[in-house]
């Protein structure tokens, strides 16, 4: 079954026609703190989740594990208040800038990248003229 026919949407067709979705009808949505640039989390949106995010001022995602919509902070109180929404150049990813209340990660961490930082060689940009 086509994933989009299973979950009808009120998303503006001008936006829906541009989206490049995965096989499940989803687009990754990167969530960023609007004033600091801190990357908070990555969630998944289908057309209806994007529509709800654009029209309610709250981030709505599609839960792949529960197969249902969820509004960030509805049960935890750790809400995301939308400040802007943009598609990337290929329309295969969404950037949502928010005002995050409390933790963004389901583990209770501020971001989903707080707990597992990997060792990596740090690169340096060459000096001008090199």
pLDDT at position 94 over 80: yes
For the segment 47-65, what is each residue's pLDDT rounded down to a tens digit?
A: 999 999 999 999 999 999 9
3-state DSSP percent of the chain in helix, strand and coil, to 5? 15, 30, 55
Place of tokens 């541009």: 18
Tell me what pLDDT residue 5 has.
44
Cβ atoms of 85 and 54 closer than 8 Å: yes
DSSP-derived secondary structure letter, 15: H
Q: Is 112 annotated as a binding residue?
A: yes
DSSP-derived secondary structure letter, 57: S
Q: Is 31 annotated as a binding residue?
A: no
For the segment 58-91, what is each residue's pLDDT rounded down to a tens digit?
A: 999 999 999 999 999 888 889 999 999 999 999 9
Q: Is 88 annotated as a binding residue?
A: yes
pLDDT at position 46 over 90: yes
Please tell me whether residue 73 adopts helix, strand or coil conformation: coil
CATH of 25-100, one of 3.40.50.360, 3.40.50.300, 3.10.20.810, 1.10.287.130: 3.10.20.810
Q: Is 119 annotated as a binding residue?
A: no
Q: Is 109 annotated as a binding residue?
A: no
């Amino acid at each position: 079954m086509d994933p989009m026919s299973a979950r009808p949407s009120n998303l503006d067709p001008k936006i829906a026609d541009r989206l490049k979705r995965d096989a499940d009808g989803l687009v990754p949505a990167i969530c960023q703190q609007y004033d600091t640039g801190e990357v908070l989390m990555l969630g998944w949106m289908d057309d209806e989740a994007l529509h709800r995010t654009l029209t309610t001022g709250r981030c709505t995602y599609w839960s792949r594990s529960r197969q249902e919509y969820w509004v960030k902070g509805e049960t935890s109180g750790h809400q995301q208040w939308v400040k802007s929404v943009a598609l990337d150049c290929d329309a295969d990813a969404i950037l949502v800038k928010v005002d995050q209340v409390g933790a963004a990660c389901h583990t209770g961490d501020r971001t989903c990248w707080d707990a597992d930082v990997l060792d990596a060689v740090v690169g340096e940009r060459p000096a001008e003229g090199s």
